[in-house]
Amino acid sequence: MRNKIIYTISALVLTGGFLFWKLTPSVSKETSDVRGVMTGKLNYVSTTNTNVDKYISELEVQVKENPSGSSLYNMLGAAYLQKARETADPEFYSKAEDNLRRAIELNPKNFEAIYRMGTLSLARHQFTEAMEWGNMSIQLNPYNGPINGVIFDAEIELGRYDDALKTIQKMVNMRPDMTSYSRVSYYRELRGDINGAIDAMRSAINAGAPNSENTAWCMVQLGNLYLNSGDPVKAEVQYQAALTEYPMYYQGLLAMGKLLFIRNDNTGAIQFLKKSLEVNPSAEAMIWLGDVYRITGQNDKAEEQYQNVRFMNTLLKENGVDVDMELALFEADHNTDLDEALKNAASSLEKKPTIKSYNTLAWLQYKTGNYTEAGKNITSALKLGTKDPLLYYQAGMIFTKLLETEKAKSYLDYALKINPRLTELYK
């Protein structure tokens, strides 16, 4: 579950023309209607294209000409949010915030700006604040689908999984598009329904998006789902499709680097990971490149990448991003500063009782020899049924120490069948 932000089902009937959903695997039969989050395929098509850099330039000119236009500041803030996503440069968050706050100052009822402040809070891992902004905006416009997306994401990252299911069902019924379908996919993945997650992500891709980067992102996520289900061939098809759609897309390059590593092509992996970093200096690519360097005996180059990760985390913190859990996991994976990382992981769990937080704390407890507590927390991390190979590998290692041999073997067999090189990455 490393470097990835991921998302108890109760059966109920939704009234007022809404739909019934239940905890069952997704059916394979194609449907033309919008089905429940936990059942059925989802289908919708709408495609448009814009260029975010050109859009920002045009809006900046318009803002200068009309400095009292709340809607213009809102649109410029939204464009900077998109730019931050495309580049992974956290400095764009500050520019987004400045414009969005100015929009709200000019018009306190500008629900779109308030909603996007929620989106910004999500990007900064400030999930309680995201909930607050989301609730403020939905009071102004209760029938706006994207606002429910902000609330859903915050609920997931605060561990409120039951509430999140209700929110995403509401969102997909209101607005069946890429943003809702990709969240449906995420929720199904969390619940261990990989086939259902694949179906929903396919629908997200078919729905299209305002720019090619969002479509490429969905293609990479679909590839990741195939990879985690043990189908690297289909995964590669999606990664290549993403790079065809958006040729220098750093997430696609990163994904190809990971895939080549799994296939024991270290040279090819390094080439793709370096290319990803040339386009976008993301911490995830730095970690992967550092790990491949370490495994191939290039320790000086590995340490250089690890230092870059620490610098990047400092930059993220300076721009308001909460990276305590991510940094704790990084230190755990590399056996450095474990005591401080353990404190950060425990603090993160208090603020965000998610399966990711339980997983991170369990792994640190394993690394520091507290196997009993690690066993309790990894069990909590597994509670949703998420079938993540790395989660299963770490669970297997913990249960090995607890002498629960059968359980350990089951988890390790699953994980290592999908990625046999996990033992080289995480020891």
**Domain boundary assignment for the chain:** 323-425
User: Which helix (H) or strand (E) is 12 found in, with range?
Assistant: strand 12-13
pLDDT above 90 covers a percentage of the chain that reads 76
Distances (CA, A) of 420 to 259, 302, 406: 12, 21, 19
Closest CA to 58 of 38, 43, 33, 75: 75
Residues 229-233: what's their mean pLDDT?
96
Burial class, 54, CB count within 10 angstroms (exposed 0-12 / middle 13-18 / buried 19+): exposed
Segment 342-374, tens digit of pLDDT: 999 999 999 999 999 999 999 999 999 999 999
Tell me the pairing of strands 12-13 and 20-21.
antiparallel
Report yes or no: 110 and 71 within 8 Å, Cβ to Cβ. Answer: yes
pLDDT at site 27: 36
Helix (H), strand (E), coil (C) string for 299-344? HHHHHHHHHHHHHHHHHHHHCCCCCHHHHHHHHHHCCCCHHHHHHH
Closest CA to 168 of 37, 9, 42, 7: 37
Q: Dihedral of the CA atoms 244, 245, 247, 253 (nearest 10)?
A: -80
Measured between alpha carbons, how far apart are the two ends of the chain, in Å?
Answer: 16
Query: Which residues are registered as beta bridge partners of 20?
Result: 13
- Token pair in block for residue 298: 């290039």
- SS3 state at 194: helix
Residues 317-333: what's their mean pLDDT?
91
CB burial readout 75-92, b (16+ within 10 A) else e: bbbbbbbbbbbbbbbbeb
pLDDT at site 245: 86
Segment 372-427, tens digit of pLDDT: 999 999 999 999 999 999 999 999 999 999 999 999 999 999 999 999 999 999 97
pLDDT at site 145: 84
DSSP states of 164-189 as a string? HHHHHHHHHHH--SHHHHHHHHHHHH
Kindly tell me the sign of the dihedral angle through the C-alpha atoms of 337, 338, 342, 343: negative
User: Long-range CB contacts (< 8 A, 24+ apart) of 373-377?
Assistant: 374/398, 374/401, 375/399, 375/402, 375/404
pLDDT at site 39: 57
Hey, what amino acid is at 380?
S
pLDDT at site 86: 72
Q: Global pTM? A: 0.84
Segment 190-228, tens digit of pLDDT: 999 999 999 999 999 999 765 677 899 999 999 999 999
- Token pair in block for residue 181: 């379908």
Cα 14 from Cα 200, distance rounded (Å): 21
Residue 32 has pLDDT above 60, yes or no: no
CATH class name, domain 323-425: mainly alpha
DSSP letter (8 states) at residue 26: P
- SS3 state at 45: coil
Residues 139-156: what's their mean pLDDT?
92
Q: 324-333 vs 338-351: helix axis angle to the nearest 10?
A: 140
pLDDT at site 24: 30
Segment 169-193, tens digit of pLDDT: 999 999 899 999 999 999 999 999 9
